Amino acid sequence: MKSLEIKPQVYWVGGIDWNLRYFHGHTAPRGTTYNSYLIVDEKIALVDAVKHYMFDEMLSRIRDVIDPARIDYLVVNHVEMDHSSGIPKFLEAAPHARIVTSPKGKKGLERHYKKSWDYVIVNSGDELKLGRRTLKFVHTPMVHWPDSMVTYVPEDKLLLPNDAFGQHIASTARFDDEVGWDIVHEEAARYYANIVFPYGEQVDKALEVAATLPIEMIGPSHGLILRSYIPRMLQVYHRWANNESDAKAVIAYDTMWGSTQKIALALQEGLESAGIPVTMRFLQTNHISDVVPDVLTAKAVLIGTPTLNNGMLPTVSALLTYLKGLRPKNRIGMAFGSYGWGGQGARDAAEAIRGMGWEMPEETINIPYIPDESELLTAREAGQRLGQNLKMISDM
């Protein structure tokens, strides 16, 4: 298979996973890539490997450039198995390669593969001279694992940040401008929301470091290489890392016999009457991981559930459990629902929202059996007030 030279003597040699649709808990409707970068100098380095079943594809792309046995270093920016499970086979093809990684990277690799490999341990700021080029390493802990680091090649103004700035896109295109900002942005947002969301503070620190480096190209470990949209990507990452959101709402709900759905639609009408764009996410037809990108950019998040067996419907509790882990901040929340007796479902949802530290200016709406017209009017009014509240905040 063909490699692609992205800078003089720097080659993309990764694998394209066209069939992936589910990536450790979240959807990946466009598939993904595992990007490896081969740097050919007096010494030869491969930056990041691929998932085990992509190994042959990576190897054939390396062979398109050089004999893999000539590789001196394998840089492991991150231990997670989508980048490391191809390493055991890689070391058979490149038996002299030493593994360059952070101290936590070494510990992680040892726990995963139980092998005594030959390591070069690098701390933040360390450099490795390849010849004309230098590899500079910066640790970026918790973006998004403790071992995470980025590799920078100053001579090429090339940043290889592993998962950061990644997007799950399988494509024969390799560069951002070949696909367009809308798709790159949408998939970067899905990726950030589902993987990086809890680590905004650490992302912000990494962005500060990135701001000190001249960068012409960013080669993430998933998706398209950035060359045209770098300023836009840095800007949206800054917004996401700081939990900045827009004056819009997402209503995520499930329903048993349609009552909670009626309340959801009344809330939608109310919000829209105040000029707020709303996204409706019915949890029987939307995976929870597809709701999270909406939460990434919406200031208001409304969660609806009927009561089942004295609790929430499992789809709704799954969403709230997922959100709790992802820790979105500075949101306005609201719970609503319907019940036959008891009514614990919406109350539990409200409790979970409160537990995330979100503001809750509106009372929980919890209606027995089927809402009547006056109750739906009350819901519309609550939606409208919430919308006006959002408008006021966004105009400040």
Give the shortest CB-82-to-ligand FEO separation in angstroms: 4
Among the listed residues 78, 11, 71, 74, the one whose alpha carbon sits nearest the alpha carbon of residue 44: 71
Which of 17, 72, 73, 78 is flagged as catalytic? 78
Q: What tokens appear for 196 in the block? A: 């990086």
- The answer to whether residues 231 and 346 touch, using CB atoms and an 8 Å cutoff, is no
CA distances from 182 to 12, 64, 277 (A): 23, 33, 19
- Minimum distance between the CB of residue 85 and ligand FEO, rounded to whole angstroms? 11
From 37, 73, 191, 253, active-site residue: 191
The pattern of x and - marking residues 110 through 149 that bind ligand FEO according to CB under 6 A reads ----------------------------------x-----
- Residues in region 6-35 near ligand FEO by CB under 6 A: none
Active-site annotation holder among 24, 127, 244, 372: 24
Length of the chain: 396
Residue closer to ligand FEO (CB basis): 80 or 348: 80
CB of 160 to ligand FEO, least distance (A): 13
Tell me the window of 75-83, 129-137, 259-267, 287-295 that interacts with ligand FEO (CB under 6 A).
75-83
Report the interhelical angle of 230-241 vs 181-191 (nearest 10°). Answer: 30
Q: Is 80 a catalytic residue?
A: yes
Q: Minimal distance in Å, beta carbon 270 to ligand FEO?
A: 40
Q: Look at the block and give the residue holding tokens 């992936």.
A: 20
Q: Which of 163, 176, 187, 254 is catalytic?
A: 163
Question: In the complex with ligand FEO, which residue's Cβ is closer, 82 or 254?
Answer: 82
- What angle (nearest 5°) sits at the alpha carbon of residue 34, between those of residues 30 and 37? 135
186: annotated active-site residue: no
State yes or no: is 82 an active-site residue.
Answer: yes
Size of the site for ligand FEO (CB under 6 A): 8
The residue annotated as part of the active site, out of 17, 41, 72, 82, is 82
Task: Draw the binding track, 76-95, toward ligand FEO (x: CB under 6 A; -: no contact).
Answer: --x-x-xx------------
- For residue 229, give both structure tokens: 């949209």
Site for ligand FEO in 203-232 (CB under 6 A): 221-222
Q: Whole-number minimum distance, CB 130 to ligand FEO, in Å?
A: 24
Task: Give the shortest CB-315-to-ligand FEO separation in angstroms.
Answer: 26
Across the beta sheet with 158-162, the strand order is: 127-129, 134-139, 149-153, 158-162, 217-220
Q: How many CB atoms lie within 10 A of CB 349?
A: 30
From residue 274, give the alpha-carbon distance in Å to each of 16, 27, 66, 295, 362.
45, 33, 62, 20, 15
Residue type present at position 81: M
State the alpha helices, DSSP H only, in 96-178. Answer: 103-113
Q: Where are the alpha helices (DSSP H) in the chain?
A: 55-63, 81-84, 87-93, 103-113, 181-191, 200-211, 230-241, 259-273, 288-297, 314-326, 344-355, 373-395
For this structure, is 395 an active site residue?
Answer: no
Chosen residue from 17, 57, 147, 163 binding ligand FEO by CB under 6 A: 163
Catalytic residue among 48, 57, 72, 80: 80
Active site residue 92: no
Which listed residue (222, 339, 348, 362) is catalytic?
222
Distance of CA 128 to the CA centre of its chain: 30
Strands 246-253 and 278-282: parallel
Catalytic residue among 144, 168, 339, 348: 144
Q: Smaller CB distance to ligand FEO: residue 82 or 348?
A: 82
CB of 377 to ligand FEO, least distance (A): 48
What is the spatial distance between Cα 70 and Cα 56, in angstroms, rounded to a whole number? 17
52 included as an active-site residue: no
Question: How many CB atoms neighbour CB 241 within 10 A?
Answer: 21
Q: Cβ-closest residue to ligand FEO?
A: 80
Does 48 help bind ligand FEO (rule: CB under 6 A)?
A: no
Rounded to a whole number of angstroms, the minimum distance from the CB of residue 195 to ligand FEO is 7
- What residue ranges bind ligand FEO (CB under 6 A)? 78, 80, 82-83, 144, 163, 221-222
Residues with catalytic annotation? Answer: 24, 78, 80, 82, 144, 163, 191, 222
